[in-house]
Each structure stands twice: as C-alpha cells, then as structure tokens.
Structure 1
Amino acid sequence: MRKRRFKAYRVPAYIHDALQTLKPPEDLTVSQWSERFRVLDERSTNMPGRWRNSVTPYLVGIMDEFNRWETEEIIFAKPTQVGGTEIILNALGYIVDQDPAPTMVVYPTDTLAESTSDNRIQPTIEASPELRRRWLKKASTKTELQFDSMYIALAGSNSPSGLASKPIRYLFLDEVDKYPAASKKEADPISLARERTKTFVSNRKIYMCSTPTLRSGHIWKAKEAADVEKHYFVPCPHCGKYIELKFAQIKWPEKDTGMTDADRAEFATYVCQECGGVITDRHKPAMLRNGQWRNVRENTRFSRTVAFWINTLYSPFTRFSEIAKEFLKDKDDPDALHNFVNSWLGEPWEDTKLTTSADLVRDRQTETEMFDLPPWTKMVTGGVDVQENCLYWTIRAWGDYLTSQNVAHGQALNLTEVQNIMNLEFKRPDGQPFLVDLTLIDSGDQTDEIYDFCAQNADWALPCKGSDTMLSHYRLSTVNKAGSKAYGMTLVLVDGGKYKDTIASRMRKPNGQGSWMVYKGVDLDYCEQVTAEQKVTERSSNGTERTRWVPKSSHAANHYLDCEVYCMAAADILGVRQLFLRQENQEASKPKPEPQTNGPEAGWISQNESWI
C-alpha cells in the first residue's frame, strides 16, 4: 500500500504570530523559567551567561513559593549579597513572560529605583529574548516599563505620591529596613504600597526582602509575624544529618598560638554540631545542592505568609575564613560589630545591656522548701498576671534591704483559685504565721472582672496596669470607670522596666542579704519565664538611642516575670525599703533598764568576790 504524501504549506507570519499569542504559557515555576530563559548581563555580574540554580540552590525554594497559590506574602530576611535582589529580577521575568499582571517594585529612594532600572532591570530584559520581544521600549520610562500586556512601576519609598493610585497584583519591596517611618501626614510606605493590592486580594503576591537592622525593623517584625518560618538545612558530609549552619560552629585556632587574628582566621573551619566532623569550603557546594528549607516555626496549617531566613555561611561566594576574619576585625568596635551582625549574620542588632538566664535563677535556690517562709521574713506579697485562659501567680517573702525569696508560684483557672491561694497562712521556722499583705493583679485584660474582684477583696488586692512614662517605679492612681464596683479604688501604675532592672541586678547577687532568691527545687518553666527578656539598646531611624526590655525570642512566655514585677511593686507600696528602719526604731523605743543604785559595800563585794 502506497503511503500518502502530504504537501507542506508555509504558514504565513501573521498566522504564526497569532498562534503564538494564543498559545497557553508553559507550566513552569519561577526557578524553572529562570534557568531556561534568564540571562545574566556582564554589566551587573561577574558570572555572565545563563542563570544556573545550582550556584545558589537556596534561592529555588523562595522563588517557587510564588507558584504556591495559598501563599500571599513572601518574607526574606537575609545578609547582604546572597541573591535577594536576583529573586526580584527572576520573578519579574517570569511574570512578564508567563503571568502578566500590573507590578510594582519599591526601593528605599527614587534615585535607587532609577539606578536599578538602568543598571539591573533593563539590561536583564535586553539580555533575554523572551522578555525583549514583549518590551515596549519606546513607550517606557525609567520608572515605568511598558510591555505588551502589562507594566512594571518602579517607585521610591521616600515618594508617597508614587505609591498611590494604580492597582497592583505583584508587589516587590526591596531593602525595607531602609524605608522611612510613617509621618504625621502619611502612613508608612509599606502600608501605602499594600493598599494598591486590594483589588487582587484573592491572587496577589507580596515579596519583601531586606538585611535586618534592629529587632523593631520592618523585616524582622514581618518575619516574626509570619505564619510559617523556614530555615535552610544542609546535610553534613560526614554523618549525613541535616544541620543548620550557625556562626557559633565556625572554629579557629586559639589566641595563645602566637598568630595574628588574620592568620588565625585563615585556618577557620566549620564543626558539625551533630558529629563534630570538620567541614571545609570544598564541602559547601554539594551541601547546598542537597539542602532543603524546613519549617522551624508554624503558627497555622493555613499559611498565607511564609518567611525565609539565612546567614552568610550559606553563600557560595564567601569562605568560612572570610567570615571569621571579619568577626575578629569587628568584635571590639560596637559600630563595626553592628554591621557584622546585620550584613553577615542576617540578624538584628541588639546592644545587650543586661541579661539573665535560667541557670542563674537555679543558682539562687535556698534550702527553704516551697510554701515555707525563710527565717528573716517580715512581709509577704503576691502578683497575678491575667491571661485569656488562665492566671499566673507568684508569692514572695521580703526581709531587710530588699532581701526576698519566691515562696510559691503557679497557674490558676479562675479568680476563685487565686483568692484561695492568697488567703493561705504561711509560717516562719519559729512558728510565726503570715498572710499575704498585698497582691497586685494585672487589670490590662478582663478589666471589669478584675476591678470587681479587687473591690470585693480590697483588704489584700489592688488592680494594676503597666506604664513606662513615669519617673518613679510606681504611681498610685484611681479607678474612674463609672458604674464599676471599684470606682474610687486605688489603681497602681507600674513601670515594669524599672522593676526588671532591679530584679535582674538582685538576681546576680549571691544568696544572702539583698539577694533575689527562689525556693529549693524550683521548676524549669518558672526559671525560663522570669529570664525570658533582656535589656537592649535600640537605635531609631533618626539616630536616637533608648534601652528597653524585650523578649529574647518571639512568642517567649514571660508571665512569671510580670508576676514578680507586681510582687516587688506591692512590696514597695508597703514600704519594703524601710523595713530595716522599723527594726532600729523598735530597738530605740524599748525602755532602757534603770541603773541600779548600790550602797558602798557593793564595790567592796565586787572586788572581793572570792571571799566566800
């Protein structure tokens, strides 16, 4: 049977173009598109040519998060020079070619936006045929790039007018910690830019990246608030276990070897925290290629905001010796160390002025058992921190010179339990009974219920609220809530920061007079909660500094610390700082024995006591 031959017809160019236009986009992820179509321009990199995911494998997971339909926001907290901006360029290319939609990129300033357009974005478009054929170059400006079915607007965070009006589906926020703060006339730039995405609330994507500055900065706050936080784990070449690269594991020769710091740094290696195996720079490429992003924190199963974090140890362009050298050079200069922490470790700078630890609390244990009073007790106070589902409480004994010891602590399910606990009788070793003299109860939450409870138990309870604007440690105010049973009752305003200073300093004193102590066998949860905060110095955007107590980690429980603050404030109200004077006054007020008047024979007898 003869085969039929089909005559080949040449398809006219206009039909070919029409078919190409109607052709659906390929099912590619951002990372796949980048490796196939992204071309690196020689003007902006020392590795020109095709983009290769194998060079920076950790960027793949972040890029592909754009293709996860549930994810609305992507946060990338990072050190410098690890590819945060490259993610933006790759994602822009993917959007233009695969999923056109109105897009905006916000930079710290207008000048930087124009410079990035000239030196990074436009060269990227010109280098890729897939992007170049869609670009309407003549219709574009530096800050608004026009394409056949979309546009990319570039704006500076210092220009509020550029962040208003047009609807945006894809929003990119670069180096957000360098954005200015909100003014009296305008909201902060991030909020203004977010407003543009309201129209696309069901399918918008917001990407935010930055090197951290302070814990209160935009990127770190966004990372802490994310539904999911991911860190990059890599396999150890020796034991095969997946580890997170941490600066503390970089080791170099000790100082007493006679080498300079620069020479010592040259011998730096990474020591696996699991097996102790020595990892060198030659192991890093294979480790990175086989790495994977893993959840280190997850607040909900339905994650809309995903945060990623790495440090410079993951950079394929930075050797362990360079990191060690930079640290040894900067460690004695606070400003230089600040830059190292931000730009190399990818962490917020905290100038820690005062810190405590759970081990320090354990060192403050005495031989007195729980619910027993120390022999020097002269006063007993309580503190209650109110939470939505329970109440935390502590009871502390006080003696002369602010000597104190935790007598008991715990959780109560309701105020009735608190009432029963605070009305217990405690005894000193000599049998002297004591009741709780005064308890302060946090009224910031469930205010009406706390006010009513304190009014009913006014002989031992007072409501309190935190306040950090006072010159003194505490101030007595009045409940002025109309209709409340506690109307006219004393309300104690407490400066928690000042009391935390006192607690931390007293905690450092050895057990004895003036020390802040705990009972024998104190539990670990209490020890961790009373040391869950540290005092740090923070710099604002205008250069001013202030110190304050902040949690050591996100979501750290500090309820017992608040209880101890209230205990100390209650003791202050009762005059604990003058307890030693009361003893002196009592001694002074005792009647002195009258001198005995003896006859003349008394002297003779005393001189001849052995006469009998």
Structure 2
Amino acid sequence: MPKRNKHKLPEFIKKALQFLKAPENLTVSEWAEKYRKLDVKTSAIPGPWRNEMTPYLVEIMDEFNNPDTEEIVFVKPTQVGGTEVLLNVIGYVVMQDPNPAMVVYPTDDLAESISENRIQPMFQLSQELNKRFKKNESNRSELQFDGMYLSLTGANSPSSLSSKAIRYLLLDEVDKYPGASKKEADPIKLARERTKTFPNSKLFITSTPTVRTGHINKAKETSDVIKHYFVPCVHCSEFIELKFQQIRWPKEESMSEVDRAEFANYVCQECGCVITDQHKMQMIKQGKWQVVQQRTQYPRKVCYWMNTLYSPFVTFGEIAKEFLTTKNDPESFQNFTNSWLAEVWEDTKLKTNADMVKERQTDIPEFTVPEWAELLTAGVDVQETSLYYTIRAWGKYMTSQLVAKGQVSSFTDIENIMNAEFYKENGERMIVNAAGIDSGDQTDEVYDFCARNSGWAIPIKGVGDGLHHFRISMVNRTTSSAHGMQLILIDGGKYKDMIASRMKKKNGTGSWMVYKGIDDDYAEQVTAEHKVNEKRSGRTVSIWVKKTSHADNHYLDCEVYDFAMADVLGVRTLHLLQEETPPEANVNEVAEEFNNDWLGGNKKWLDEF
C-alpha cells in the first residue's frame, strides 16, 4: 500500500499551539533543577542546577509560589548563592508566568554588565529559555520574551524606575542604592510604585547588610515573619543555628593567627561536640527554616536571614582566619561583619572589647576577695534553660573586682553559691550581701525564689525610664508569695555607661577589675554590646545594642545587676560610712543592718509599673 502523506502543520500554527500550551506545574526550585544551566565563566560548579548544593535556597525560591506572600526579603552574606535566587526567579517567570518584570541594581552600569555577562548567557545556555528569548528585539537594559519584557535598570536612574508598569520587582544589593534627595524620592519607593497596577505583584529584595539604617535592615525589621536556618547536629541531632561564636580555634600564643585558624572547628552549643567541615554539608541538607520572630497571624512579608557559616563553599577555618586577620582593623572588620556574618555594622563613641577586659586582670585569683573589699554583690541573669551569675567585690569610690562567675542549671545551685563563704587572703570571711535576680523571664519562679531567700535575693527589672539609675518599687501580684516585697527597677543603659567608662580606667581606686585568668567567654559577653545613635520620634537617642544579633550578653546583664545592687546598698558613700563607723565594728554586721533596714519596711516604696 502506498504510504499516506503526512501533512505538516504550518510553523505559525505550531507557535500558536505552543503559546497556548499550559505551563508545567512547577515551583521555582523545581523549575531551576529541570531547566537552569550554570555557566563555566561565572560558577564554581558549572552544569545543571542542583538544589542539593544549596538546599537553604529552596524555600526562599518557592516562597514565590505562595499566593499569600507579597514581599520576600533575603538578608545574606557573600558566597551563599544569593544572586542565583534572583536569576532562577527570572527564568521561572519567563517560562512559567510571563509578566512584565524589573530588576533594579545599584547603578545602570552594573545592570548592563549583569545583563550581558549573567542574564543573557543564562538564556542562551537553556534550550527552553532560549526559545522564548527575542534577542534581536532586545538591548542590554531591556530584554524581550514571549509575552513579557524584563527591564534592567539602576537605582541611580529615577526616570527608569518610574516609567513602566510591572508585576515582578526584584531589587538586588539594595544597601548600595543611593538615598533619597531633595529632587528625587527614595529609589525603592519609586520602584514600588510601578507594581500598583498588578494586585498580585511580587517583590523580592536582597542585599548584604551595611548599617542599621540601611535598606535591607529596615526591610527585615518591618517583615511580618523572620526565619533563620537550623541544622541538626551530627552528634546529638538537636537542631541548632550556626553561630560565629561557636567556631573555636587553638589559643596557643606561639602560633600565628593564620595557623590557629587552620585548626578551627565548630562546637555544638547543645552537646559540646566538635563539628568539622566534613559534617557541614550533611547537616545543611537536612536543615530547615524556622520562624524566630512573627508579628502577625497572616504574614505577607517574609524575611530570611543567614550567615556565611552555612556556605558549602567556605570552611570554618576560612571564617576564623578572616576574623583573626581583620578584628584589629575597623574598616576590614566592618566588611567581615557585613559580608561574612550578615550583620549590620555599628560604630560607637563608647567602645569596649574583650582585650580591654583582659587588661583589667589583677594578681588576685578567682574566688578570693581583695583586701580592700567591704561588700559583695551578685547579679543573676535568668534564661529558659540555665542561669548566669557574677559576684563582685566593692570598696570605696566604687572600686570593684569580679570574684566569681558561672552558668548553672537551677535556682538551687544559685542558692548554694550565694550562701557560700568567700575569703580574703588574710582569712577574713565574707558572704554575698545582696543579689539582684532578673525577673523579666520566668517571673513567678523568680518571685517565689526571692521570697524564700528574702535576706539577700532581690527581684530586679529593667525599665529604662532615662531618669534614674534605679528606683525601689514593690511586687504587687497578690497571688505571689513575694507580694509586697521590694522590686528594684533599673535603667540598664545607665549602668552599662558606668561599666564601660570604669573599664577604661587603669587598675586601682575607682576601677572595674576582674580576677586573674579570666576566660574569653566572659570577656566577649561582657563587651557584647556597644552604644549607638538612633532616631526615635524625630530625635536622636543613644542606646546600647548588641554588636551582632547572635552575641551572648548574659554576663553583661549580670554585671548590670551587680552595679544596681551595689547602688542600692549605698556603695557610692562607702568612704563616708567608713569614717562614721566605729573602728571595732565589723563591716559585715553594718552591711547586714543596712540590708535589714531597706528590706524590712515599705514606707518609701513606689508602685510597680
């Protein structure tokens, strides 16, 4: 039989049918793994995109497929593949959901360079993308595709930002954008205006942070949800957040900083086991994003934050090396803070650092009270799973020295420590006169503990009214066993000012000192904050904030409570009391009588807020 002729469809009909074909049901990450190709010129791992290489990017990409999400914020360091999220979204939109889109870079020149060297090569490498790319109708600042265009512009061109209606707005490295001027509005606000035509528009904003007032930090602070990436420890299986302070390296002074960094590893904050670079990739693949802050039940603006510790391309040793070689150079250390830790950089007029703490060491060992001491106070910072404490000796002119500090697991431990005896080198016995117990967390438990130990334990609460260092109030919970007991309200910022200024004084009268052999953890925690200027209600105020958001500052809080207790006991007038006290009187008995006076009555108490 003769073969029947097969009529081929005209090319224009094929194209029409192809255009009418429904897109595949894919998420952004699924699309990337199926169609994205990486260029040998721009990628360390050229070839097909693999989600398993950077699994932390999967949820960020797929958030574009969440119909409830309007804005996605990605606060990122360098070397985690953040730029690839933006490129994958572009490819996905072109193939799956063609709609007008715009990418805004810091400058026009950068936009044109990325267009020529990153975006157009991406379309040429993928056969399916290349089918939709109308190269002959495109230029470097505007690429044409089937059913849509992609505008590439710089934040330094206000006219370009305000001239096109778009559905997808992608803002890259926003902290490098120029600010608003008298003639032109903020570039981000101008770009946002272009999305009003589309009720289902999407905004993606990403950057390495710079300063607290930068665009990306503002976007983070106004997000409905903030998420961090958690990974399971290979030893204890607990999900942990990778934090820089958990990277440890040898302390041998004979080794150079570069050599010390070579031996850096990560120590799990839950079980204390060592995690090496060989473990990291396995942990990252099993990781998940977890909400660390949520402001509304129905979030529309979702923020993702991570640091370089999660990068499969960077070792713990390289991070340690970067820190050790930049920490003494403010300009280089700012880059480390921004580009490696993804933290905002804050400078301050009142600086403290761990080295300054080490300089305040005396020849007196831990647990030994200086000869000049007349009072002992303690501060206890209450956390969900543990308690931190410090015990400080006080003399005239507010001279002070750390006697002991530590972390314990229960209030029973605190009770035993605070009732322990401490000795001067001459054998004289001393005990803690008063301990300020943080009542901001586990309040009822703290109140009950203080009621049971009312001879020395005082609940303390930070209020920051800006008027007084401390005020004596009372516990007004009628259901509490501590009802009617004194409550000390303090302005922590004022005591941090005192600590920082006295820390700068050389050891001696009026100085803030620590015992011999103080460890790095205490030194880092007690200097974990610095003072910065912020605008509030139209005026500039100076406040204490953490240098990095993940820094532990428990010992600093303990020292604040130490200072407050010393103030309550009248340490500022010790030199006057000494002159009025008969020589034969025991100073501990005088202090005990003084304690009983203000612990007993409530005539001068103020109502608690």
* C-alpha contact 1:361 1:507 (8 A) present in aligned 2: no
Q: Does 1:159 align with 2:154?
A: no
Question: Structure 1 residue 10: deviation in Å?
Answer: 5.2
Q: Does 1:313 align with 2:378?
A: no
Segments of 5+ residues of structure 1 without an aligned counterpart are 1-5, 371-383, 386-391, 397-403, 413-423, 427-495, 516-530, 541-545, 555-560, 565-576, 581-612
* C-alpha contact 1:497 1:549 (8 A) present in aligned 2: no
Correspondence for 1:388: none
Q: Match for 1:322 among 313, 318, 331?
A: 318
Correspondence for 2:252: 255
Equivalent-residue separation in structure 1 for 2:134 and 2:435 (angstroms): 81
| Aligned residue identity for 1:275 | C
Q: Match for 2:531 among 529, 532, 536?
A: 536
Question: Structure 1 residue 351: deviation in Å?
Answer: 3.0
Map 1:122-161 → 2, pairs under 5 A: 122-161=120-159
Correspondence for 2:95: 97
Q: Match for 1:214 among 185, 204, 211?
A: 211
* C-alpha contact 2:75 2:342 (8 A) present in aligned 1: yes
Equivalent-residue separation in structure 2 for 1:19 and 1:165 (angstroms): 33
Equivalent-residue separation in structure 2 for 1:83 and 1:550 (angstroms): 33
* C-alpha contact 2:235 2:273 (8 A) present in aligned 1: yes
| Aligned residue identity for 1:207 | F
Correspondence for 1:587: none
Q: Does 1:407 align with 2:472?
A: yes
* C-alpha contact 1:104 1:172 (8 A) present in aligned 2: yes
Q: Does 1:53 align with 2:51?
A: yes
Equivalent-residue separation in structure 2 for 1:93 and 1:411 (angstroms): 61
Equivalent-residue separation in structure 1 for 2:334 and 2:9 (angstroms): 64
* C-alpha contact 1:35 1:53 (8 A) present in aligned 2: yes
Question: Structure 1 residue 130: deviation in Å?
Answer: 1.3
Correspondence for 1:473: none
Q: Could you report, residue by residue, the CA deviation over 1:551-575 in whole angstroms, capped at 9, with x for unpaired residues?
A: 5499xxxxxx9xx9xxxxxxxxxxx
Equivalent-residue separation in structure 2 for 1:224 and 1:103 (angstroms): 26
Question: Structure 1 residue 195: deviation in Å?
Answer: 0.8
Counterparts in 2 of 1:532 and 1:9: CA distance versus 1, 3 Å: farther
Equivalent-residue separation in structure 1 for 2:240 and 2:528 (angstroms): 27
Correspondence for 1:33: 31
Correspondence for 2:371: none
Correspondence for 2:183: 185
Cα RMSD for the two superposed structures: 4.4
Question: Structure 1 residue 198: deviation in Å?
Answer: 1.0
Map 1:132-531 → 2, pairs under 5 A: 132-200=130-198, 202-256=199-253, 258-352=254-348, 353=350, 405-408=470-473
Question: Structure 1 residue 242: deviation in Å?
Answer: 1.3
Equivalent-residue separation in structure 2 for 1:147 and 1:411 (angstroms): 69
Counterparts in 2 of 1:65 and 1:8: CA distance versus 1, 3 Å: farther
Equivalent-residue separation in structure 1 for 2:309 and 2:435 (angstroms): 48
Equivalent-residue separation in structure 1 for 2:301 and 2:340 (angstroms): 25
* C-alpha contact 2:502 2:510 (8 A) present in aligned 1: no
Question: Structure 1 residue 82: deviation in Å?
Answer: 1.2
Higher alpha-carbon Rg = 1
Correspondence for 1:549: 543
Equivalent-residue separation in structure 2 for 1:267 and 1:62 (angstroms): 33
| Aligned residue identity for 2:71 | E
Secondary structure of 1:133's aligned partner: helix
- Give the structure-2-normalised TM-score: 0.63
| Aligned residue identity for 2:214 | G
* C-alpha contact 2:78 2:340 (8 A) present in aligned 1: yes
Correspondence for 1:557: none
Equivalent-residue separation in structure 2 for 1:309 and 1:283 (angstroms): 22
Question: Structure 1 residue 302: deviation in Å?
Answer: 0.5
Secondary structure of 2:103's aligned partner: strand
Equivalent-residue separation in structure 1 for 2:476 and 2:140 (angstroms): 61
* C-alpha contact 1:58 1:288 (8 A) present in aligned 2: yes
Counterparts in 2 of 1:270 and 1:148: CA distance versus 1, 3 Å: same
Equivalent-residue separation in structure 2 for 1:514 and 1:265 (angstroms): 38
| Aligned residue identity for 2:243 | K
Q: Could you report, residue by residue, the CA deviation over 1:233-269 in whole angstroms, capped at 9, with x for unpaired residues?
A: 111111122111111111111123x222111111111
Q: Does 1:18 align with 2:13?
A: no
Correspondence for 1:63: 61
Question: Structure 1 residue 95: deviation in Å?
Answer: 0.2
| Aligned residue identity for 1:53 | N
Q: Could you report, residue by residue, the CA deviation over 1:518-547 in whole angstroms, capped at 9, with x for unpaired residues?
A: xxxxxxxxxxxxx9995435799xxxxx99
Secondary structure of 1:199's aligned partner: coil
Size of the aligned set, in residue pairs, is 435
* C-alpha contact 1:394 1:408 (8 A) present in aligned 2: no
Question: Structure 1 residue 17: deviation in Å?
Answer: 2.9
Equivalent-residue separation in structure 2 for 1:260 and 1:505 (angstroms): 30
* C-alpha contact 1:108 1:178 (8 A) present in aligned 2: yes
Equivalent-residue separation in structure 2 for 1:340 and 1:538 (angstroms): 22
Correspondence for 1:605: none
* C-alpha contact 2:98 2:146 (8 A) present in aligned 1: no
* C-alpha contact 1:395 1:408 (8 A) present in aligned 2: no
* C-alpha contact 2:56 2:284 (8 A) present in aligned 1: yes
Question: Structure 1 residue 362: deviation in Å?
Answer: 8.0
Equivalent-residue separation in structure 2 for 1:19 and 1:347 (angstroms): 50
More off after superposition, 288-297 vs 37-46: 37-46
Counterparts in 2 of 1:70 and 1:211: CA distance versus 1, 3 Å: same
